[in-house]
Structure 1
Amino acid sequence: MEPQNVNKGDRNKIYFLIIVIAALIGTNGYLFFKDRQQGERLVTVSTEKDKLRLEVEKIEVELDKVNALNLDLNEKLIEEQKLARKEIELLKRSLENNKITQADLEDARRKVAELQTFVNNYNKQISALQKENIFLKSAKDSLENSVRTANDRANNLANENYNLNAKVKTAAILKMQKADIVAYRTKSTGRKIEVSKSSAAEKLSIRFSIIPNELAEKGHHNIFIRVFDPAGNLLANENNRFEAEGQEMQYTHSIFIDYNNDNSTYTIDWTNPKPYIKGIYTVILYTDGATMGKAQLELK
């Protein structure tokens, strides 16, 4: 059988179909590769955004760590941190944009790198500040210990001085060495006669001497006497008051003596405004807020 002849018009149609099919295949291939490249680009951008977000979060954590230290930051460090946190917020918003471009990513990378450099320098400043604070605290503690030690020493010295002064004051108190009480009356001639009966007595005369004491203050000393009758009643005026042995007391009579540590004998005369009664009269002497001693006299 002989092959059939294909006319020229049919041949042209066949060529046209072949060209169309080839064009379709080429177009499909182009679209396939274009879609593949677009997908790869989207994956790359998403991955890059995630990396940048992670770096930004790390930077934010570093700043949070600084705040957790509760350091007393100066105004410069506070202002630098505020600016950094503003930049972080802007970066976060930028990375949330789904239409971010490659140029935007490059800008974000640059800003993240700047923030990382800032945080490194910031941490160095914070570390230096911590060391300074530790040094200052150590110096402050040392100074406080020194002050505390000095205060303790001063308090101890003050207590020792107080105790010493108290001992000296106690040692300097005038004490009676010997005391006698005599009752007497005065005759019309003016002569004094010693008596032993209560009915005849007009005055009491207390004669006393003082134990020699080099520590006692020389000069005038106010001597207070308190007289008690045989019934134990204090014979004193309500307005006559003084302090001795840490309390306020009433006194019967008082005089000044001139003490010179020379074994002098002193005399105090006292007139009872009331009649004397039988029994023992007790006289207690005081000076400089302390008791000097006492003496007694029995009237019949």
Structure 2
Amino acid sequence: METQEQKKKDTNKIYFLIAVIVALVGLNVYLFMQKNKSDNRVVTVSDERTALQTELEKLETELEQANNTGTQLSDELKAKDEELRAKIAQLRQALNRGQLTAGELSKAREDVKQLKYFVTKYTTDIDELQQKNAALTVERDSLKTTVTTVSKFAENLSKQNDSLNNKVKAGAALKASNIQIIPLRVKSSGRETDVSKASSTQKIRISFTINTNPIATKGMHDIYMRVMDPAGNLIIGEGGMFMANNQELQYTYKTAIEFSGEAKSFNLDWTNRNAFEPGNYTVLLYADGATMGRGGFTLR
């Protein structure tokens, strides 16, 4: 009996030892598996952090490229640019802290997703701004071209108008024909006689006909006369100035006639204050800012 009980006790001990060994083996297996899971989790977290950092660098590069377009940003886009840069710096600081909890990692992932959306929206706004600027540039250039064309057209029209005005003005100016100049001597009796010697000549009479001109101004017209001596010098009479043929000239004698639009003959007498000299003389008549006619006479 004692022998069987002893055997029974020994058997129970063996079973107990076996159970303990099995439990220890199971515990070791469990701990080993947990360790492997922990290692894999650390690797996964590290990989995700690297991926997020890479994504941040990519977003920052896109942001830099958007800002290097040379486009003048609005105040709203400038504020968005500063906001995005601050967010990138904040996320990079969080990722650089080291180990992240699952919650921090999940939040970082969401923040990067939102940041990616805002950067895409930001670059899209920059592209739209560039397109608007390009359209405005084209519109401005087109407007410049139009203004230049209109200016040239107005300039040409002004030139044509000036030319037309000049033609009308020239056409309205009085013109003389049949100009004859007669040297005269006035006797003590007041009687006038034709002469040909310089020593006998006291004055000249200029006879001419004003041609018919329906567009000429009806009424009084100033007539200016310039007498050139044989040396080609102007004989100074009254010595006043007048404008003719776009230049200022000095006249020898000035008078006025009345013109009605129809052809009419006139006589102008001019007495020389000084003695005449032998030679060829030239007489120029002006009216309405233009040359009206010319003639000449010779004295011996």
TM-score (norm 2): 0.81
Deviation of 1:29 after TM superposition, in Å, equals: 6.0
Q: Percent of aligned positions with the same letter in both sequences?
A: 41
Residue in 1 aligned with 2:55? 55
Deviation of 1:83 after TM superposition, in Å, equals: 0.8
Unaligned runs of 5+ in 2: 1-13
Residues of 2 paired with 1:241 and 1:40: CA distance?
112
Deviation of 1:165 after TM superposition, in Å, equals: 1.9
Query: Following superposition of structure 1 onto structure 2, how do residues 32-111 of structure 1 map, counting pairs within 5 Å?
Result: 33=33, 35-111=35-111
Unaligned runs of 5+ in 1: 1-13
Deviation of 1:70 after TM superposition, in Å, equals: 3.2
Aligned positions, number:
293
Between stretches 257-266 and 46-55, larger displacement belongs to 257-266
Residues of 1 paired with 2:257 and 2:21: CA distance?
148
Residue in 1 aligned with 2:192? 192
**Kept after mapping to 2: 8 A contact 1:238/1:250:** no
Residues of 2 paired with 1:64 and 1:165: CA distance?
64
What is the RMSD computed on CA atoms of the aligned residues? 3.5
Partner secondary structure for residue 274 of structure 1: coil
Residue in 1 aligned with 2:6? none
For 1:45-75, what per-residue CA distance to the aligned partner results, in whole angstroms no more than 9, with x for missing partners? 2210111112222322332333233334332
Residues of 1 paired with 2:199 and 2:238: CA distance?
26
Residue in 2 aligned with 1:230? 230
Residue in 2 aligned with 1:273? 273
Query: Following superposition of structure 1 onto structure 2, how do residues 149-168 of structure 1 map, counting pairs within 5 Å?
Result: 149-168=149-168
Alpha-carbon distance change, 43 to 143 in structure 1, aligned in 2, over 3 angstroms:
same
Alpha-carbon distance change, 146 to 234 in structure 1, aligned in 2, over 3 angstroms:
closer
Residue in 1 aligned with 2:180? 180
Between stretches 262-271 and 232-241, larger displacement belongs to 232-241
Partner secondary structure for residue 190 of structure 1: coil
Residues of 2 paired with 1:229 and 1:244: CA distance?
20
Query: Following superposition of structure 1 onto structure 2, how do residues 108-119 of structure 1 map, counting pairs within 5 Å?
Result: 108-119=108-119
Residues of 2 paired with 1:153 and 1:106: CA distance?
70
TM-score (norm 1): 0.81
Residues of 2 paired with 1:214 and 1:69: CA distance?
71
Residues of 1 paired with 2:132 and 2:279: CA distance?
86
Alpha-carbon distance change, 239 to 194 in structure 1, aligned in 2, over 3 angstroms:
closer
